[in-house]
Amino acid sequence: MPQAHSSVPPSDASAAPSPKAGSARHLRIAIFGFGTVGSSVARILVESKPQGLELTHVFNRKVARKRVTWAPASIVWSEDADAVLASDVDVIVELAGGLDPAGSWVRRALEAGKSVVTANKKLIAYHGIDLERLAAAKGGHLKYGAAVAGGIPVIPGLEQGMAGDRIERLEGILNGTCNFILSKMEEGAEYAAVLAEAQAKGYAEADPTEDVGGFDARAKLAILMRLALRVQVEPEEIVPRSITLITPVDFSYARDLGCTIRQVSRAQQVEGRIAAAVGPMLVALRSPLAWSQGTENMVIASGHYGGDVVFSGHGAGGHPTAVAVVSDLLALAHGSRRVEIPSAPASLGDEFEVPHYIRFLVKDRPGIVAAITTALAKEQINIRAIVQKAGYPSDALPFVVTVEPCKSSALKRALAHIRSMDCMLVEPLDLQMLE
């Protein structure tokens, strides 16, 4: 299969001359999108005055309401994207998000030979390869260190710090909103109340589906798979699972099992077979993933030679993300070049073979456990434990079955039979258990 490249070096060194040692190329910068992150980027550029970086333009719809008193009078505030793109700026910092019109702005900037720095994970997940090729062909650069895990240097770490290893597995917490909700539920709060708190604090959108449904995390996972596992996977191939089915009783049972629950994104490649998943999972309390609280993010990259490397920190918020953006701008000003990382188109064709946690809610009667055991045995799935807590009514009784490592497809077939039992009050909840 012919190989594509997830990162393409500049095709014309003269188009982007490297500064002399100790000096920085002067870059005129335009920010597209003056929200939480955009204003934080501007604040760093204005207050810290990083060498070689000059903020000259800010674009935003209804830009008059975005003006700030601390910004220099020399900055051009505009709601005309065409005029800013046609100006003499060297770098467009795209922080509006989404595929359109942000994608159009990025393409036009690259076509004009400008460089682009972005935190737009969806744009990079779906169109990153094409945009990198365009940047190389036109003599510009595309950098997106802030697209995954905000201010945590995961992408630079994979591109440079771990480029010499063969990474075989990724596991991580990539969505701060979900981590905030689940870590609060771990303390005993109800989902609806925590979601409202997250929205009030600006951690969650009015429509939180992108976050709680796992769609945000899968876009980030697709980017990391390209950089770490060297495979190009369409994000839609990764079917995410929502955290909305998790209840306080699941945390209670998880504690009994020495675990907690987090939204985990994971991928692995074994002998060319690729598996990926995003959703709530049980993680052992001794795992670093269990230590991540609030809006923190974490990524564990497992290398064939170097072993596990953990990236952890504040993955959300204006200031942490802005630090990653400004770091990319400084890299451009100092002439740094990205490591060329080959990657090839691939499809998911494998499953994780792991233990599972299955929570049932039933109207109690004799023979339920026997019927469940029979359905699992038919698929060659062995039961590890049956856990039932006291104090629940017999007409709405939650209990948990954990099973030995098995394929998700086999468990899915068993649960299809189990859910048809007339004692089942809700769909059984099936979660992977990380060991």
Q: What angle do CA 286, 284, 291 make, to 5 degrees?
A: 55
* Cα–Cα dist 129/273, whole Å: 22
Helices (H), 139-214: 154-156, 176-186, 191-200, 209-212
Contact 321, 151 (CB under 8 A): yes
247 with 296, same domain: the answer is yes
Q: Which of 220, 378, 389, 407 is catalytic?
A: 220
249 with 310, same domain: the answer is yes
139 with 158, same domain: the answer is no
131 with 200, same domain: the answer is no
Q: The domain spanning residue 232 has which CATH number?
A: 3.30.360.10
Q: How many domains does the chain have?
A: 3
Can you list the positions of beta strands (E) in 70-166? Answer: 76-78, 91-94, 115-118, 142-143
Residue 99 is predicted with a pLDDT of 96
Query: Residue 426 sits in which domain range?
Result: 353-434
Residue 22 is predicted with a pLDDT of 57
Q: Among 95, 111, 143, which residue terminates a domain?
A: 143
Mean pLDDT in order along the chain per 10 residues (435 residues): 43 46 84 96 97 97 96 97 98 96 98 98 97 95 95 93 95 96 95 94 91 98 97 96 96 97 96 95 96 94 97 87 96 84 91 97 96 97 96 96 96 96 96 94
* Cα–Cα dist 376/371, whole Å: 9
Is 220 annotated as catalytic?
Answer: yes
84 with 158, same domain: the answer is no
Burial (Cβ within 10 Å: 0-12, 13-18, ≥19) of residue 210: middle
Residue 9 is predicted with a pLDDT of 43
Is this model's pTM higher than 0.85 or not? yes
Length of the chain: 435
132 with 162, same domain: the answer is no
* 3-state secondary structure (DSSP) of residue 407: strand
| Angle at which helices 121-138 and 215-224 cross, to 10° | 40
Q: Among 78, 112, 143, which residue terminates a domain?
A: 143
Residue 151 is predicted with a pLDDT of 87
Residue 12 is predicted with a pLDDT of 42
223 with 372, same domain: the answer is no
Residue 305 is predicted with a pLDDT of 97
Judge whether 328 lies within some domain. Answer: no
Q: The domain spanning residue 388 has which CATH number?
A: 3.30.70.260
293 with 181, same domain: the answer is yes
Burial 346-381 (b: 16+ CB within 10 A, else e): bebeeebebbbbbbbbbeeeeebeeebeebbeebeb
8 with 96, same domain: the answer is yes
Contact 20, 47 (CB under 8 A): no
189 with 254, same domain: the answer is yes
Query: What number of H helices and E strands is found in the chain?
Result: 14, 18
